[in-house]
Structure 1
Amino acid sequence: MNSKGEYSYNHLQPSKDAVGNGVQVQTRLLDSSELQNTTDIRLQDPLLAIACFVGGILAAVGHHLYYQRLNDTPVTSENLQVWSIRIGTGLALLTRCGLVAAIGIAVVQQTWLSLRKRAMSIGGIDSMFDIMGNPWSFFNTDFLIHAKRLAVLAAIAWLLPIITIVTPATLSVVSRMTHDTVATRVPYYNFSNTDGWGTYGGFGYISGAAPEMARLFTRTYISNSPIPQTPPFANASYDFNFWAPSYKCSNASDIIRTRNNRTWDLDYYNYTNFEEAFNAEIANPISASSTTNSSSISPPLIYKSTAPSRMNNMILIGANGHNELRGNIDHNYLVCQLYNTSYDITMRFDNGVQSIHEKSIAHVNSQEWDNERGRLSVVLANGLCAPDPAANNATICPTYYMVHYLFTRFLTGLARINAGGELIFQSDGFEGNIVEAGEAPFFQSGLRDCPEIWNSTDYQSASGGPLAFQSLNRCPGGTLGTAIESLSRNFTYSLLTYSNWRNFTTEVPITVSMPKNFFYYNSVTLLITYSSAVVVTLLCICVGFAALLSNGYTSSTAFSAVLLTTRNPDLDRLSTDNTLGAKPLPHPIRDTKLRFGILRTEGSEPQAGFGLDGTVTPLENMASVILRKKGAERTVD
């Protein structure tokens, strides 16, 4: 007896070593202070379950906040993208570990509760103890039938790692067009520079257009669009304001009503006013030809245009095709005047393809100087744009004159049906230079598709019918006048590609559009996934706590718990010749049913442990067992 009156003693018990020699093994009975109070619930495991659960929640919240901070921010490097996914995956793994660990603790408590409630085969018990580490355990029928709640908890623990697949993938990378403003130099105009524009004769007068300028004009009217310049960026746009020449085409009747005065010397034309001049040059020939189709003297005219050298940069045009937009009148009479024009445009490039949006085109100053002053303009101020005293001090640009020269050679002439019924075009003062209409530059452009030309009865009869020659969408604005105006503007835009002006640039703010990668966070998917996992885990923890309270003590699946709960002579006999525990278990052992409860073996005190079915009673409370054991120990002397 010790100082407290409690009994304890040591004794020697014979045993044998590994080679069979007798040895003395000292054992010691525990005094009452060292006996385990099995009715106490130790808080370490419950608190650990709560800590793991809270830690998993914190990791999930951290995952959400991290991805939310990255959302809609640019991906500046491949390394940033890689590490963002790595960090997200790490946080998902921490969440998974915390939640699964909490469920694992609940599974342990539920395991012992299931073992107390009913007998189960050793194979089923193996599955219960092995279920968290071996998915084959789910295929044991006895386990699934008698431990359904435990099977559900384990299944949730096995399925929960799906969150480590779903949640990291909620952060992705998307490509979006961004718009940045960059100050960049772009091609600009310099109409005071005539380098490479013309050819010259005599003492320096302009005799024609230089080859490159002629080619530039030809490419423009053939393509029916501006020649595209090299884009500063593949996707960009900028506003552009400048002054340049263009034509404004008006009805002849409007010009006669507002500007019918004579502007030329009678030594050159014997017309007293503009109406008389226009009728003589255009109206009378066109109208007369339409009534004498069978006359060999006056062949049918389809189109006629002239640019009298003293009529201040005017091109007079007449055509007899019907156009609904002009009221289906019998004859269409136009006057196209060269203007100094204010342009306000937006230049766009989409994947390198140029397009031009005309915000404002204002015809400001008509170029009212005649052909003679234009030819001599290059010697006025060394080729610069300058006022000419001989032209009422009108500012004359040699480059403007050469634009008018190109359009005059292109537009002027007449189209008619010859004696053989063929469509021909005659230019250069209508003397010689007669070509088949298809060879004439005018008919190679989109202008011939305007109704004022192709909707002429004579033109259709000579061309094989209305569908044999018409090309759709090649007459901008639907009228001959608007098409000529469009062509003049397109040629002006084409001048931005003129090689001799490559050094003339201006700096403008360019809106550059380019694709950039941005992080995109699908917060709904992550929050739903984590919320579902947290709720399910919380339910599992509640099941575990209920099992803990029902058990009345904190259970464990450690080796010590197995050791202490299998002290039973029946189990000792069952393990004879099967002490390795190797797989597969023999069928007699695997199918033997055990139950965890109060063992009532004849000649011994009741104790808790595993026993054969029928040899145990339900384990409700171990207090009576412990008290009886204490009383027996006190009687030992």
Structure 2
Amino acid sequence: MMVASFLVGICLALSQHLLYANLHHKSMDDEGEKVRMVLYGRAFAYFSKIAFGGCCILVFRQRIWRTFRSSALSVLSIDQLFLATEDPSLFVNWETISNAPLAVAMALVIWLIPLATIIFSPGALSFGWYQETGSANISVPNLNFSMESYADWRTPIQMADGTKKRQLMFYNTTDMKQEEEGWFDYFDQPSSDLTRVSLMTAYSLVDHPLNRPDARIKSCGGNYNCTYTASFVGPGYKCEMVANGPEDDAKLAELGAPFNTSELIPRGQHVYLSDVDKGEYNKPQYDQLGEGGKPNGTIPDGLGVFKAEPVLWIGYSINSTVKLAPDDPLAKNWTARYDPHIFRCIHYETKYTIKYNYTDFAFTMETEYEYLSPIVDTNFTLSDNGTVDYNNPSPAANYVSPRTDVPRYKKVAAYHAMGQSLREFLRGKIELTPELPKGPSFARVDSEIAQTTLVSNMTSTPTEDLPDKLQRFYGDMLLSLFSAPKMLVVSETMAEVQRSRFQSTFIYSPAKLWGCYAPVIFFTLIILLMGAWTIHQDGTTFSVGFSRIMVTTRNQTLDDISRGACLGNDPFPMELMHTKLQFGVLNDYGELEYIGQDGLQGVGHCAFGVPSEVSFIQRGVPYAGLRRRPERRITGVQKEKTD
């Protein structure tokens, strides 16, 4: 029973550990389920207390009988030892502490086991905020402009909710019914959905693209914070600074720029000047168009052909805040030096590699650009007199026609629609009146760019890093298509998502649990070994049941000194309580002896008595009332002993 109790206690402690380990970092929304799990753990703790405590109690019972044999104790101390698991008064009785230190120590362990198991061990499982981290391969939103290559506006793609996918542009056609030989569709203008997204991006005045409200849930695969990297191929403007500072016009002339730094402040009047329409796709493509954009009469050969993409020429001036010298000619109009800059941007097919970071309700992006090739790889011809022919770029072999490579034409049309949406904001100029002699200086705005983040909302003048910011602004315009998931180019791709989230979960600390159980197991094992050794020393086991008390108190001396106190009532006679008794072999007893079949007389009776009338019990001697070997079993012959 001792060993079984000890092993059951260890099994119950392991069961509590396994339950808590299974609950570790597990979130439960059902409050009833949470309570049940906590109660299960406490049940294991309670039953382990019973098992370990039961083992210690069994050993304690053996040990007190060894104590009663070796030391004479007062009836009070004997009472306290028998009631040690119920009455802690033995811990303040010096007689029990000095004469039965091992038994008192065992009793102390029995009292402390519930403290460690029932009270402290459930504290190893608690609730708290846990940052769950990991990775998952999930489908994330992405852009796929190739979807436009094979889309047919006559039969739009339907989504699961019954709505239709929206394209980036509107088409004209030479035959609505697709019956005439050689019919084809050709680009007309950006779609209203693209125009809406572009306007919202520009007017939002934030330095990041628009996104759908549930973007984090969709991108992270749930209520997580996450980071992941995705790439796609789309349109992008590659910008190159051509002129820095006043009169830096040599390269401008070589490239056929439509203006030079003389038109920019401080020599000119413009703080911002742009030319973004040279070589633009004509709208309409033909003067006389019928139903659906079909030309009246013969269809021109160049109808709908993309010959070039307009080059963006943009000039701007930045206030350097460097004060002008009084003798500087520009000091009559300006107090600080203005630095003019002119750059050009060419429309490229671009590979975007973007690292997305969703944290709570905000997100950031780190974008890398890889410019692949010009969308329409043609150049405008520069004549000897410095003028540029924008009507016939070369080489003609690189024109993109709707009659030949239709998928490529549709993709180029989508790119062109995006670029045209951007150019709507860049077109125009901003003039700045001089500070002197009348002042004050103020901007006269004639461009939609003033409604974007490309212009300071404090001074209404372009930002200092305008070329880089324009490239990012265009990228944000593309990525803002995510805010309109019904757009055809919005698709999905698989990505490895690194994600994390804070959630209220069970938190299990094995160190706390085993910090409670380790001393219990250790001291219980020591007590168990002591119990085994005690049984080995005694050669038998003991109990504290009524029958055992009855037979160990069959002593005429005890009958004499306990007269008048047989009710077991309180208060008990103090004289009797302080009488010292010891358990041993009575030296003089008036009981019947037992004679076995071999004719040997029984050697005596073991009972409590005063120290002067008992002697030590010897291991292995078959005292009366103790089990003997079968061949020594009593047959029943009796005789009365006389004095």
**1:511 CA displacement:** 5.2
Instruction: State the alpha-carbon separation in 2 of the partners of residues 195 and 51 from structure 1.
Output: 77
Shift of 1:109: 2.0
Q: Match for 1:489 among 475, 497, 512?
A: 475
- Structure 1, unaligned runs of 5 or more: 1-47, 262-272, 291-297, 389-393, 429-439, 455-462, 464-468
1:281 counterpart SS class: coil
For residue 176 of structure 1, report the CA deviation from its aligned partner.
1.8
Aligned to 2:137: 181
Partner of residue 584, structure 2: 597
TM-score, scaled to structure 2: 0.63
Aligned pairs for 1:101-120 (under 5 A) are 101-120=54-73
Q: Does 1:317 align with 2:296?
A: no
Could you tell me whether the CA contact under 8 Å between 2:272 and 2:431 is conserved in 1?
A: yes
- Distance in 1, matches of 2:315 and 2:33, equals 68
Q: Which amino acid in 2 is paired with 1:414?
A: E
**2:283 alignment partner in structure 1:** none
Indicate the larger mover: 557-566 or 598-607: 598-607
Q: Which amino acid aligns with 1:356?
A: M
Using the alignment, how far apart are the partners of 2:272 and 2:379 within structure 1? 26
CA 1:584–1:442: 2 relative to 1, 3 Å: farther
Equivalent residue for 2:207? 224
Separation of aligned partners in 1, 2:208 and 2:621: 105
1:493 Cα deviation (Å)?
1.6
Offset from partner CA, 1:287-329 (integer Å, 9 cap, x none): 7x35xxxxxxx66x544444463593322314244499xxx99
Residue in 2 that maps onto 1:420: 438
Match of 2:287 in 1: none
Instruction: Provide the alpha-carbon RMSD of the alignment.
Output: 5.1
> 2-side partners of 1:318 and 1:598: how far apart?
118
Q: Match for residue 251 of structure 1?
A: 241
Q: Secondary structure of 2:196's partner?
A: helix
Q: Which amino acid aligns with 1:556?
A: S
Is 1:152–2:135 an aligned residue pair?
Answer: no
Match of 1:282 in 2: 260
Whether the 8 Å CA contact 2:586–2:615 is kept in 1: the answer is no
Q: CA deviation at 1:90?
A: 5.2
Match of 2:5 in 1: 52
Q: TM-score, normalised by structure 1?
A: 0.64
Aligned-partner Cα distance in 1 for 2:550–2:137: 77
Aligned partner letter, 1:274: A
SS at structure 1 position matched to 2:442: strand
1:506 paired residue among 491, 494, 499: 491
Whole-angstrom CA distance in 2 between matches of 1:208 and 1:421: 44
Q: Report the more deviating stretch, 549-558 or 110-119.
A: 549-558
Residue type matched to 2:56 in 1? I
Whole-angstrom CA distance in 2 between matches of 1:624 and 1:196: 107
Q: Is the 8 A contact 1:306 1:315 kept in 2?
A: yes
Instruction: Determine the structure 1 residue equivalent to 2:74.
Output: 121
Deviations 1:176-199 (A, max 9, x none): 244433446767657788979799
Determine the C-alpha separation between the residues in 2 that align with 1:137 and 1:238.
68
* Counterpart contact for 1:597–1:618, Cα < 8 Å: yes
Q: Which has the larger radius of gyration?
A: 1
Corresponding residue for 2:371? 362
Residue in structure 2 matched with residue 45 of structure 1 by the alignment: none
Shift of 1:250: 0.9
Contact 1:321/1:331 (CA < 8 Å) preserved in 2? no
Q: Where do 1:230-629 residues align within 5 Å?
A: 230=213, 231=215, 232=218, 233=221, 234-235=223-224, 240-252=230-242, 274-275=253-254, 277-278=256-257, 281-286=259-264, 289-290=266-267, 302-307=271-276, 309=278, 312-322=310-320, 330-362=339-371, 364-365=373-374, 399-400=417-418, 402-409=420-427, 412-417=429-434, 420-428=438-446, 442=449, 445-448=452-455, 479-498=465-484, 501-502=486-487, 505-509=490-494, 513=499, 522-527=509-514, 529-600=516-587, 607-612=605-610, 615-621=612-618
Letter in 2 for 1:224: D
Distance 1:386 1:536 in 2: 82
The alignment partner of 2:543 has SS state of coil
Tell me how far 1:153 sits from its aligned partner. 0.8
Amino acid at match of 1:619: F
In structure 1, what is the Cα distance between the partners aligned to 2:639 and 2:142? 107
1:429-475 superposed Cα distances (whole Å, 9 cap, x missing partner): xxxxxxxxxxx75456444459xxx9xxxxxxxx7xxxxx99xxx96
8 Å Cα contact 2:343/2:467 also seen in 1:
yes
What residue ranges of structure 2 are gaps of 5+ in the alignment?
154-165, 173-186, 281-309, 323-336, 381-389, 394-398, 593-603, 625-633
Aligned length: 510
2:199 to 191, 215, 233: 215
CA distance in 2, matches of 1:239, 1:143: 75
CA contact (8 A) 1:70 1:519 kept: no
CA distance 1:624–1:285, change in 2 (3 Å): closer
- CA–CA separation in structure 2 for the residues paired with 1:196 and 1:625: 107
8 Å contact kept, 2:131–2:500? no
CA drift of 1:567 comes to: 2.3
Asked if structure 2 preserves the Cα contact closer than 8 Å seen for 1:369 and 1:396, the reply is no
- Return the letter of the residue paired with 1:621: Q
Tell me how far apart the structure 1 counterparts of residues 415 and 7 of structure 2 sit (CA, whole Å).
84
Cα offset for 1:620? 4.2
